[in-house]
Every structure is written in structure tokens, then in C-alpha cells.
């Protein structure tokens, strides 16, 4: 079963629930205040080791999240 992230709009608590895919769009009860929380957009990064022993992101051709050039003041490369 996948893990989904939720955020409660009342108390701003972030929490995770393991649920079936069939329940992925349904709201969940906040474990703190018991109000209805909605699913949050999850962000993650996958990395792998290269043949040279360095780590590289999987699925992207730029190490910079704010531009497509991969070389700017934001990513310091």
C-alpha cells in the first residue's frame, strides 16, 4: 500500500497514512485535532551512485531545482 501525506488546515500538522490506492483522493482525519485534512503533494528525490562513486539524481538532467540550466547562483554550480 502507498503512503500518502496529509496537511490539516486547522492545526497545520503534517502526517502520513498508508492507504489503498482506491482511497487516495479521500480526506483523512487529523490525528491531533480530528478535523478533516487533505492530501498534500509529495516531493522526493531519487539518487544513485555513478561508476565513479559520486551520487547523481535519477530522472533529471539538471541538478538545479529552480532553473533548467544547472548552473546558477541558486544551485551554486
pLDDT tens per residue across span 9-51: 999 999 999 999 999 889 999 999 999 999 998 776 777 887 7
What domain count does the chain have?
2
29 and 7 within one domain:
yes
Per DSSP bridges, beta strands 28-29 and 36-39 are antiparallel
C-alpha cell at 62: 539538471
Highest mean pLDDT among 29-33, 64-68, 70-74: 29-33
7 lies in a domain?
Answer: yes
Q: Is the pTM of this model over 0.85?
A: no
56 and 29 within one domain:
no
64 lies in a domain?
Answer: yes
46 lies in a domain?
Answer: no
Residue pair 20/40 in contact by the 8 Å Cβ criterion: no
Check whether 77 has a pLDDT greater than 50. no
Check whether 53 has a pLDDT greater than 80. no
Q: What is the pLDDT of residue 43?
A: 73
Residue pair 16/3 in contact by the 8 Å Cβ criterion: yes
Distance CA 69, CA 2 (A): 33
> Residue 18 is part of which domain span?
3-39
Amino acid at each position: 500500500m502507498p503512503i500518502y501525506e496529509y496537511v490539516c488546515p486547522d492545526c497545520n500538522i503534517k502526517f502520513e497514512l498508508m492507504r489503498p490506492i482506491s482511497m487516495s483522493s479521500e480526506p483523512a482525519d487529523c490525528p491531533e485535532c480530528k478535523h478533516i485534512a487533505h492530501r498534500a503533494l509529495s516531493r522526493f528525490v531519487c539518487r544513485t551512485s555513478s561508476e565513479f562513486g559520486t551520487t547523481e539524481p535519477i530522472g533529471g538532467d539538471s541538478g538545479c531545482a529552480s532553473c533548467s540550466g544547472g548552473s546558477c547562483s541558486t544551485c551554486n554550480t
